[in-house]
Structure 1
Amino acid sequence: MTTGTAVTKSSPVVVVPSESGKTTPPPAAYTIALSLFDLIMLPFPMKLVLAFDRPIHEPVETIKRALSRALHHYQPVAGCLDGEGGIACTGEGVAFVAASASCALDEAMATLQEMDLTSRFPGVFCCDTDPLLLVQVTEFSCGGFVVGVTWNHLLADGAGIGQFLCAVGELARGVSPPSIAPVRLWDDALQALPPTVVTTQRSTVDNNGSRYLVRHDIAVPVSLVSRIKGESGGCTAFEAVAAVIWWCRIFDGDAPAPLCFPCNVRTLVGAGDGYYGNCVVGQVVPATSGAVASRSVADLARLIRRAKENVPDLLLSTSGSDGGKAAAPPDAGVQAAPPLQLYDGFGVISWVNLGFDAADFGGGGAVRVMWHEDRTLLPGCMARGKR
């Protein structure tokens, strides 16, 4: 047994796919190819923490059994990378850790980010021999519990993991089969990424080093968001929050200060509701610090909205002459920036509407959804709602 900050963890066990709670022999191994949407990602770990304040019966065992049954429907999740651009669906399973905390959940809410609530991969990046998914369930003294999920980004994006966790929740509540039929194989009939987008995305990821950055929690008041919405002509909460943080993060006038954010493009490329692989592209709004500082926050929100509206054009870009920047919003006050480097750029990611809040293991949805990172490679913000 190992003890962290008020958290006692058991040794990891392997959860393998099963049907109706009974372990079944793994199917004959098969391999599915990763799509270009997967391969533009590095195999870095993503961490998610879901906190539930309403008790359920034996949360560790309930979620463990439901996880096993979910893997029966989501066979690739229980596999591993084959080292050749695919996932070997071997049924090897995922790592599962049971843990307990010595305090009540409401007493720990302010310090959840510092608690040991997730499992870790051995290295900074995931190896081919690592499981694709790690799950930890931590019970608190009040009966509340936290589900910590760590996954290899090559497996799925946030929407895909949200769908998977909703399926685990349904199975925990006795709903079988899951309401959404999972699809992981990329259909050749679906729209692929243009070569310019692939080049730009890979360049952006590869240019980011491994420097440790300081983490802060910043609250953007609802009143400020509402004011920006009114001044901008009706932007979204994401656009308002991104504009505020972008405006605050300024340096000297000539320094590049591009904003980047991922966009879910499932509907644009024809992927169905059940597809849970990666299906995002990063949109960049090029700028310098001076250009950002000279604009109102409402103006910046409008620029972000325009960039979002231009994502379909980004996917249609097939010429290499534009360097993959065809979708950058044209504006005389915002100058083009060089390729995104470690500290130049600023990324904003929203985990709202990805399905995390909808995951219900029997007592209702999560009261807190958190990004839980050991290290951050790119200056950025993980935006979330009031929870």
Structure 2
Amino acid sequence: MSRAQDGNRSFFPFGNPFRMISPKGPKITSQLLSVLQAFEATLEERLKKLIPESKDEILSLSWMTLAMQVLCESHNDIKTLITDLEMPVNDWDEKWIDVYFDISMKLLDMCNAFSSEISRMSQGHLLLQCALHNLGSSSSEQYDRACSSLDGWKQHICSENVRIEKCGSILDGLLASLDLPKVKKLAKGKVLVQAMYGVKVLTVFVCSVFAASFSRSTKNMLDLNVADVYSWPPTFKRLQNLVNEEIRVRFSCGRFAVLNELESVDSSVKELYPIIQGVVDPIKMESLPGIVGELGRSTAKLSQGLDLLTKEVDSFFHVVLTGRDALLSNLRSGATVIPSNMGGNRNAQIVN
């Protein structure tokens, strides 16, 4: 697992995540194996949903919305698995709990960063609406105002988002979390850890794609090396290769943005400028209504897509937060809570 620009890097920089499948440790019964296989089959189907029929569908707001939906479903699947395993929190190793709280906090931070960027892009919608309003007139003064609004939109969209810039360090932490903890005694724990590994791989991948897209840089891209010891890695590799390759191609071409909807708006803006800026060519003016109409449609599609993506990111935030709160509640009801001096993300240390 490595960042795309890191070149040759240790295959397992954070330890061997597949050590849990060795003959040592608890044996998984046929019943537990059946539960795990069903979970991983569902995970593979969710991965398949993210493989588009065409590369043109990659990195659209609709694809990103679907990716968030898949994350929500997969994290909810983990909650269901814990229930099906009848594995109470007091059976959890304390290290697992610490790792869970650390990961969940990083995911909440990541969601906040994504939400801030989506909100920032949505704020540019007003500038586009002002431009469209002024383009409804034929006066040069209105055209100047439209140009000013379009310039403002371009500057706004190209400005940096400090929260997105911090996603790289969060991704490093999530990448480190892929190292699976040892499971020595509990077969159910072995099943849970293996199932969670698949969901964590999916989560890190989606977060890296979002971070790369929103930062307009490949520095946040990750290439995750997953051995074919489970049923789902071949499907995951196909998905990752397809998406990461397309991101690299788009950046290498110097595209304004990797998101389809932003590119569509920018394309219309570039067509408008030669017509409405400076001296107006009567011949070119004939094409103006069609280009303005296209800008209106692409602007509406961008706004609608951002609204839907906002809802899904909020849903994922809620899934992570409620899972975290549920674990805290279970810990408090089944153990004595004393103040912790160990730091970390938990507000208390649990003593059985």
**Structure with greater strand percent:** 1
**Structure with greater helix percent:** 2
With normalisation by structure 1, the TM-score equals 0.21
With normalisation by structure 2, the TM-score equals 0.23
Computing the radius of gyration over CA atoms, which structure comes out larger, 1 or 2? 2
